[in-house]
Amino acid sequence: MSHSKRVLPGTSKILSEICEEFERRLTNEIQNRIVNHIDVESQDGTEYLHDVLEELERELTRCAHSINRLHNMYQPIAKLPNELVVQVLEYCVYSDLRASPPKYFSPAVSFFSRWRNIALSTPSLWSTIRVSSPRRVQELFIKRCGETYPGEHYPHTVILTNTGYIYSTPELCDIALLADELSEFPGRSNSIKHFEIHWQNKGRDREAMSLQAFSDYFIINYPFPLLQTLTIYDDSPSSITPRWVINAPAVTHLRFRGPPDRVPNPWYENLNLKNLDLEWDRMMPGQILEVLERHQELEHCYIHNTSPPNPDDSDASSDHNAVSLKKLKSLSIGDLDLSDAQILLKHLEIPTSANITLRILPDPWLPGFHLERLLPPRLRLPFDELQITEQQLDVQYTLTSSSESQGRFEVIFLKYKGKDWRVITDFLSELGNLSRVTLYLQVSSLPRAFDLITIMTSWPLLTHLCVKGKDVDVENIFVALESTPEIVCPLLEIWIALARHSAVRGWLSSFGLGMRRVLDYGSSRLERAVLSYTRRNFRLTFQRCTCITVKPDFVCGEARNRYNRSSMVPAKS
């Protein structure tokens, strides 16, 4: 066959197998014809065999093309540097070992022999072990993981899970089933740097062992001097078992998914815990404050409330003392009702340099409680810039400062049923201390030009303004600015207006005021408005620059002609 000569590097074996399959099928077909007493020399038999040969030829051609495409696709991947290959394999290993059921040998199973060799010679890919894995798998990982410290071989990361014993009965409790697999664990605790516990209680027998009881046997009595990261997933109801303690004084990062009153203490007086990740549902402000009060040395804290509490849930946050987090650098909390977020901020003493991110839900039980109760007090702090970015389902407010002593304050406000117009415009008149304002409005509209004049009169320090929205919003902003330039934003230096369908971009300068504006407009209505207001109120000049672009389907005629005639010649009134 002619195609058997088109052998690509690394594909000769595959093509030879295809050719062998072709010869086998052809031989079988001829034998079947002979057995069935069909005269292969007749015209009908010859035509039939010819059709079979053509079909097999086409199939062989398709296979060769497919192999060629795969070869071309794999070539760039095969040339990746070793460091990037290791990162890809580490990502696969992380997911596979935590899957159900887990995959143990993904690093060593690869299309490329080079990748397999890299995997086998990289100890970090074998540094995570599941306690419930087969003994031969554990021995292989221990052999390949390298030295934890001189003379000691054991994986840095240990995953402990009871997933395989979900339906254990009291007679066959988890202790008995895990005893053999954990027989060497106590002696290895000195080598572990990262410890993950995945403990599932839903679907198990009520008398089955809890994580608290399990830890009393295998965890609490053994030291973990090198442990840095502790990750626990425990869905036990908060009323079943108390909080437990682990002898790990060096832990710096604690991740816990479970009831907040069961967050374990890495040690009785741990001053090294710097990072806390907490995730659970229906957490109340009082519960969050109690957790933070036990870990006042935190630098970074992330709390994810998967669903807000019900209004009839009891909360003692009103009687809670203030919690001081003097070393905090970043705090992220969500999802909270607006009133709960207000309570938390009231009871937390946080350095002004800390970055705060809140993800807030509208308060369905307090319909009169709006976002202006939360943001305006922050606007009185030394922030320089406010950016409002609106999407279909949420509005993001970001306050930033040029000073390093003032951290970022960010609020992501989820609209109630996708609509809440008040959150955009109600506190615009409170922006008097800001010098930069950016508004990206996808759904909402700004007030009318007359109302904007009243609002923007209260922005005496504003120097930079950026608005992206509908054409009518850009037009109203332009009218408000150009109608009363001495009153509305008198210090304004740069205005960037981005209409929904942009077409022409250019720098405009109001003569005599030193005000630079960037217009980006794309409708004939807006074009007429810009030209009419500039002719009636101000002498306008076009500064020559390289950022003007004109699309073929839209030409701003008069503006382009003025720009082409002169770079700094005032246009006639």
In a domain, 181, yes or no: no
DSSP-assigned states of every residue in 28-57: HHHHHHHHTT--TTSHHHHHHHHHHHHHHH
- Domain of residue 470 covers 445-573
- For residue 170, pLDDT over 50 is answered with no
Evaluate whether residue 13 is within a structural domain: yes
Tens digits of residue pLDDT in 442-480 = 777 788 888 888 888 888 888 888 888 787 887 888 788
Smallest CA-to-CA distance from 237 within 260, 254, 255, 219 is with 260
Buried b (16+ CB within 10 A) or exposed e, 290-304: bbbeebeebbbbbbb
Helix (H) or strand (E) holding 215: helix 211-218
Residue that is last in its domain, among 79, 110, 142: 79
Identify the domain boundary among 48, 79, 110: 79
Task: Tell how many helices (H) and how many strands (E) occur in the chain.
Answer: 16, 22
Q: Which residues of 239-251 are buried (b: 16+ CB within 10 A; e: fewer)?
A: eebeebebbbbeb
pLDDT of residue 3: 42
| Domain count across the chain | 2
Whether residue 265 lies inside any domain: the answer is no
Q: Which of 545, 552, 501, 509 is nearest to 527 (CA)?
A: 501
Q: What is the mean pLDDT of the chain?
A: 72
Dihedral pair phi/psi, residue 43, rounded to 5° = -65, -40
Residues in the chain, total:
573
Determine contact, residues 256/232, Cβ cutoff 8 Å.
yes
Residue 381 within any structural domain of the chain:
no
**Secondary-structure percent of the chain, ordered helix, strand, coil, rounded to 5:** 40, 20, 40
Please say which residue of 79, 113, 139 terminates a domain: 79
What's the pLDDT band for 234 if we cut at 50, 70, 90? confident
502-545 pLDDT per residue, tens: 333 333 333 223 333 444 333 344 444 444 444 334 333 333 33
**pLDDT, tens digit (0-9, with 9 covering 90-100), for 360-384:** 887 766 655 567 667 777 777 888 9
In a domain, 555, yes or no: yes
Domain membership of residue 426 (yes or no) is: no
Q: Which of 55-59, 368-372, 437-441, 525-529 has the highest mean pLDDT?
A: 437-441
Is 463 domain-assigned?
yes
CA distances to 178, 360, 416 from 367, in Å: 53, 14, 10
CA distance 86 to 20: 38
- Taking Cα atoms as reference points, which of 473, 466, 419, 420 lies closest to residue 439? 466
Determine, yes or no, domain membership for 418: no
Per-residue pLDDT, 301: 95
Residue 267: pLDDT band with limits 50, 70, 90? low
* DSSP string computed for 413-478: EEPGGG--THHHHTTGGG-TT-SEEEEE-SS--PPPHHHHHHHHTT-TT--EEEEEE-HHHHHHHH
